Amino acid sequence: MTAGASIPQRAMVLAAGLGKRMRPITDTIPKPLVSVAGKPLIDWSLDALEEAGVPLAVVNVHYLAEQMEAHLKRRAAPRIAISDERAELLDSAGGIVKALPHLGSEPFFILNADTFWIDGATSNLRRLAASFDESRMDILLMVASPEQATGHTGRGDFVMDGEGRLARFRDVAGAPFIYAGAAIVHPRIFAGATGGPESLNRYFDRAIAEGRLYGMQMDGQWLTVGTPDAIGEAEAVLAAKV
């Protein structure tokens, strides 16, 4: 896959978390099924994949997995493959490693199930695919400036240079960017992974050290829904965009 190449044919949607900060709502439903503006959180992600033309999404499940499976069976597109983590919650990278047999050997999307965005003039997933160059990049993150974010409480995650390379915000001076919950990765980064629980941050840091972690600033508005209060904030932004 090279710069400007076609849309990745597969995506991983990370949906297995416990959603503890969303309690008491998540006492009875998994966080990806929490509704924002009448739509479950995970469907915002899956609708974006469908619009971009991605035919297969792998969704990992753990907490209240039966509810997740019942909901996902109702979708016609993208086609859903379940990666079952009922036995052990594997964190972000561990969940992807378990799902690699579904994801194949070509670059694929990663989406978080608890964040979504309002596109600008062009689909951000299509822009991400057009920007990914596997000869220079192992990972390309969609990033947002703080002004584009709703529901985010941190300072920032990364600093981006003029060529799009990312460094940790804590390590380098510069304007902060937030990881906006969507990325393209090449599966070669997981070669040698043990399959146990581990975070994607380990892989981000390795790619930074090798000069192969890049960012693309999104177009539009990014919304993260981590607590019950954030639901109303996100719905107010969505209502203002209608």
pLDDT tens digit string along 89-126? 899 999 999 999 999 999 999 999 988 999 888 899 99
pLDDT digits (tens, 9 = 90+) for 15-57: 998 888 889 989 999 999 999 999 999 999 999 999 999 999 9
Whole-number Å distance between alpha carbons of 209 and 222: 27
**Mean of pLDDT values over 126-148:** 94
Give the distance, in angstroms, between the CA of residue 39 and the centroid of all CA atoms in the same chain: 18
1 within some domain = no
What's the rounded Cα separation, in Å, for the pair 90 and 92?
7
- What CATH number has the domain bearing residue 193? 3.90.550.10
Residue 216 has pLDDT above 60, yes or no: yes
On whether residue 4 sits in a domain, the answer given is no
Q: What is the mean pLDDT of residues 138-162?
A: 88
Q: Is residue 146 part of a domain?
A: yes
Decide if 2 is inside a domain: no
Residue 237 is predicted with a pLDDT of 87
Domain membership of residue 52 as a residue range: 10-241
Nearest to 197 by CA among 90, 98, 92, 97: 90
Q: Is residue 5 part of a domain?
A: no
- Is residue 237, in this structure, part of any structural domain at all? yes
Measure the CA dihedral 117/118/123/125, to 10°. Answer: 0
Please name the amino acid found at residue 99: A
Average pLDDT value for residue range 131-154: 90
Number of domains in the chain: 1
| DSSP designation for 194 | -
